[in-house]
Chain A
Amino acid sequence: MQRHLISAADLTRDDAVLILDTAEEMARVADRPIKKLPTLRGRTVVNLFFEDSTRTRISFEAAEKRLSADVINFTAKGSSVSKGESLKDTAQTLEAMGVDAVVIRHGASGAPYRLATSGWIDAHVINAGDGTHQHPTQALLDAFTMRRRLVGRDAGLGKDLDGRRVTLVGDILHSRVARSNVDLLHTLGAEVTLVAPPTLLPVGVETWPCDVSYDLDSTLTKSDAVMLLRVQRERMNAAFFPTEREYSRRYGLDGDRMAKMPDHAIVMHPGPMVRGMEITAEVADSDRCTAVEQVTNGVSIRMAVLYLLLGGNEPAVTHARTTEEK
């Protein structure tokens, strides 16, 4: 493992499988009456959020607290990044406070990379989403969810997603979730297809390790997992597509479309789900939809990442059991 987690592309297959396996161990902690490990006792983790995301922050916070870390929440929302001083100044303040890890969410692509490589700070940096670039823990929790559902909770240990077919539908252009997932799923051996109108696919996507299609229906029948990405209504005004109705008709997942998927196939959504444009209530509420599990799995994945970056090199399983037996 590297010192920081900035991009899903930085993870090797073995790194990724180790994180997924460690997350299974962490998930067991959640099943206990006392959901806490002493692993990060005495370590300080800062959640540095320049962009609002209550869901992601709470997920990281839960993970940090279950590992007994001291947690500082720093919400810089509203502070001006136009002069660019806030990130550096904030970083140096945190450095002075002796912080061990920084979980950063930022509206600007590359901000976590800058934080990790600029020499402003010594702490471990974990990217909790930057601009339209990366959101690696989201990709990890998605892969974790797929492995559990498609391979099995115990059967999946040590395994990757070799040969599984995953379809991502929606606003690929502006999606850090899509970028992270393409990188990670490819590393894990899955075959990825991106589906979107041409306006919502980035120029240069042809070099990504995945297939691209403008047609949802033809990809559904051969998908093991279909992941829907949120399409913001503002995109309509910027002429990325003509109307909400047209988008919905061509790229939305409803019951009829879901019926075309293989029986074992799952529907995924990174949340928050806005029922209507990209997903109907019928699909969102079906037991094939893993949106709620994804949230639960997010905590296990973030515990695993924090543990592996800060705790040590050994699999958590050994550490967790030893502490438990004491």
Chain B
Amino acid sequence: MSKTLIRGAKVLGGEPQDVLIDGGTVAEVGTGLSAEGAEVVEAGGKVLLPGLVDLHTHLREPGREDSETVLTGTRAAASGGYTNVFAMANTFPVADTAGVVEQVWRLGQESGYCDVQPIGAVTVGLEGSKLAELGAMHESAAGVTVFSDDGKCVHDAVIMRRALEYVKAFGGVVAQHAQEPRLTEGAQMNEGVVSAELGLGGWPAVAEESIIARDVLLAEHVGSRVHICHLSTAGSVEIVRWAKSRGIDVTAEVTPHHLLLTDELVRSYNPVYKVNPPLRTERDVLALREALADGTIDIVATDHAPHPHEDKDCEWAAAAMGMVGLETALSVVQETMVDTGLLDWAGVADRMSFKPAQIGQATGHGRPVSAGEPANLTLVDTAYRGQVDPAGFASRSRNTPYEGRELPGRVTHTWLRGKATLVDGKLT
């Protein structure tokens, strides 16, 4: 297999070094490495990170191939610097059996752009009442380790308890979409000053916080591991911080958009801002950034949620919830965390690669950039600034809130086990 020499890259933001890829692995990291027999990529001070890992992606296949497919989704992932994504289970049919998760896993293998690890549903049909075949999904070729009814909350305390207990048998984790269903009936945006003015159904912070509080206590009680999806409020941060200080085995994620956008944007009634959980206030955004910096929130996950144009080009109430995120995640993290001085690039590698791989047990991903490790890498031009143009997205959908917005940073290269999937910003 061929060799690639990445010359003068700031590995995890450090001093410029050369990185030699030989076949599927990193052969050498050092200065003045020989380029003999290798294709040379002049990094010129760009930042080299381990390939990003997304613990929360919606690939929509099977069932909603008009929004995204495993192929288009993994191409979008490679464009965004990802080498591994976890595909959420809320497909049609739901990924609640070994058969469906194996299908998604195989499509990922075939795509060649990014590894795909299916997430299995916690309950049959995401209906919240009967446990899905968690063990069978784990034992399948897909080797499912993360279970989630994402899109819906596992709201029944007994079912949640049983799921947490059951996955202990094979070291799995339950990823909870924390949303008390009764408190969010008819909810369309964050409950607060803006919802009061706009006359849109309010989605109270406590609907998220009460479930997180319950679930960390359940995890403690049964001695299991719980992961909280897309934290969106300052109160949620406080609960996770408390739980960790108490020794509870909880991890948490935040999306890029919850680090940047607030509910003030809903004043436009533009459904591009309609997302679940909803955009919150400035105070929440600042608390989330701080929590990601101090490690209370472990990882950034995109909640990449592609929707076709017609599902968003309508009035707010009728619009689908969600936004695409794979191709802009790193830029938003640079804007909100790096350029603000809250996190350095080693911190970004930790929150977007090492930790998510650990939580999801993605072996071969989230590894250090050093000799002998799999060559899953991404090269970022951090000096770049430019307007987001969704026309250039690899995702099948364009529902981004950043159209026309200037954001920093651009992924120029991605390597999956030594094979370039993205070269100079273009998919191979």
Residues of A within 8 A of B (CB): 81-85, 87-88, 106-111, 113-114, 117-118, 130-134, 176, 179, 202-205, 207-208
A-side contacts of B202, CB under 8 Å? 202-204
- Inter-subunit contact A85/B193 (CB<8 Å): no
Q: How far is the CA of A285 from the CA of B346 in the complex (A)?
A: 75
Q: How many Cβ-Cβ contacts under 8 Å join chain A to chain B?
A: 87
Q: Is the CB of A109 within 8 A of B192?
A: no
State whether A114 touches B194 (Cβ < 8 A): no
Contact call A134/B199, Cβ cutoff below 8 A: yes
- Is B196 close to A, CB under 8 A? yes
Partner among B194, B196, B197, B199 whose Cβ is within 8 Å of the Cβ of A130: B199
Q: A87-B315, A113-B269 are in contact. Are A204 and B192 (CB under 8 A)?
A: yes
Is the C-beta of B141 less than 8 angstroms from some C-beta in chain A? Answer: no
The tally of residues in B whose CB lies under 8 Å from a CB in A reads 24
CB-CB nearest in chain B for A116: B269
B72-80, B306-314, B408-416: which one contacts chain A? B306-314
Nearest CB on B from A69, distance (A): 26
Interchain nearest-CB distance for A70 vs B (Å): 27
Residues of A within 8 A of B107 (CB): none
Check B199–A176 contact: CB distance below 8 A: yes
Q: Of the candidates A114, A203, A207, which one forms a contact with B316 in the assembled complex, judged by CB atoms under 8 Å apart?
A: A114
Find out whether the CB atom of A84 lies under 8 angstroms from the CB atom of B311: yes
Is there contact, CB below 8 Å, between A108 and B194? no
CB contacts (< 8 Å) of B253 on chain A: these are none
User: Which residues of B lie under 8 Å from residue A204 when comparing CB positions?
Assistant: 191-197, 202
Flag if A207 contacts B193 (CB, 8 Å): yes
Residues of A within 8 A of B314 (CB): 83-85, 87-88, 114
B319 CB–A CB distance under 8 Å = yes
Contact of B222 with A by CB under 8 A:
no
Give complex CA distance A87, B191 in Å. 26
For B204, give the chain A residue with the smallest CB separation.
A203
Looking at the assembled complex, report how far the CB atom of A268 sits from the nearest CB atom of chain B, in whole angstroms.
21
Chain A residue at minimal CB-CB distance from B311: A84
Report chain B residues within 8 Å CB of A113: 269
Which B371-418 residues have a C-beta within 8 angstroms of A?
A: none
* Chain B proximity of A92: nearest CB distance (Å): 11
Within 8 A of A (CB), among B169-220: 188, 191-200, 202, 204
The answer to whether B318 has its CB under 8 Å from any CB of chain A is yes
Interface digits, B291-326 against A, CB 8 Å rule (1 contact, 0 not)?
Answer: 000000000000000000011011111110000000
B residues with CB within 8 A of A: 188, 191-200, 202, 204, 268-269, 310-311, 313-319
Question: Could you give 25 example pairs across A and B, Cβ below 8 Å?
Answer: A81-B318, A83-B318, A84-B311, A84-B315, A87-B318, A88-B314, A106-B315, A107-B317, A108-B317, A109-B188, A109-B198, A109-B199, A109-B200, A109-B317, A110-B198, A110-B200, A117-B268, A132-B200, A134-B199, A179-B199, A202-B195, A202-B202, A204-B191, A204-B193, A204-B197
Residues of B within 8 A of A110 (CB): 198-200, 269, 315-317
Known: A83-B318, A109-B316, A114-B315. A203 touches B192 (CB 8 A): yes
With both beta carbons as reference points, the residue of chain B lying nearest to A174 in the complex is identified as: B199
Taking a contact as CB atoms under 8 Å apart, the answer to whether A202 and B313 are in contact is: no
Cα(A113)–Cα(B198), bound, Å: 11
Cβ of B317: which chain A residues have Cβ within 8 Å of it?
A: 81, 107-111, 131
Partner of A179, one of B194, B197, B269: B197
Q: Given B192, B268, B315, which contacts A108 in the complex, CB threshold below 8 Å?
A: B315
Contacting residues, chain B, for A87 (C-beta < 8 A): 314-315, 318
* B40–chain A nearest beta-carbon distance, Å: 48
CB-defined contacts of A205 to chain B, threshold 8 Å: 196
A131 touches B199 (CB 8 A): yes
Contacts of B200 in A (CB 8 A): 109-110, 131-133
A107 to B268: give the CA distance in the assembly, Å. Answer: 18
Which B residues are in CB contact (< 8 Å) with A84? Answer: 310-311, 313-315, 318-319
Q: With A84-B311, A84-B319 given, can you name 13 additional A-B contacts, CB distance below 8 Å?
A: A81-B317, A83-B310, A83-B314, A84-B314, A85-B314, A110-B269, A111-B315, A111-B317, A113-B269, A203-B202, A204-B191, A204-B192, A204-B196
Interface centre among B196, B268, B313 (most CB of A within 10 A): B196
With both chains docked as a complex, state the minimum distance between the C-beta of B196 and any C-beta of chain A, in angstroms. 3
For the complex of A and B, the 10 pairs showing the least CB-CB separation, nearest first, are A84-B314, A84-B318, A133-B199, A204-B196, A110-B269, A108-B317, A132-B199, A202-B196, A204-B193, A109-B199
CB distance from B273 to the nearest CB of A (A): 11
**What's the least CB distance linking B289 to chain A, in Å?**
24
Contact A203 B199 (CB under 8 A): no
Give the one of B188, B269, B310, B319 with max A CB within 10 A: B269
List B contacts of A108 (CB < 8 A). 315-318
Complex Cα gap A82–B314 (Å): 10
Least CB distance from A315 to B in Å reads 31
Q: How far apart sit A84 and B316, CA to CA, in the bound complex (Å)?
A: 9
A67→B313 CA distance, assembly (Å):
34
CA distance A81 to B204 in the complex (A): 25
Closest A residue to B191 using CB positions? A203
Q: Is the CB of B315 within 8 A of A81?
A: yes
* A262–B110 alpha-carbon span in the complex (Å): 80
Q: How far is the CB of B2 from chain A (nearest CB, A)?
A: 50
Q: Which residue of A lies closest to B266 (CB)?
A: A110
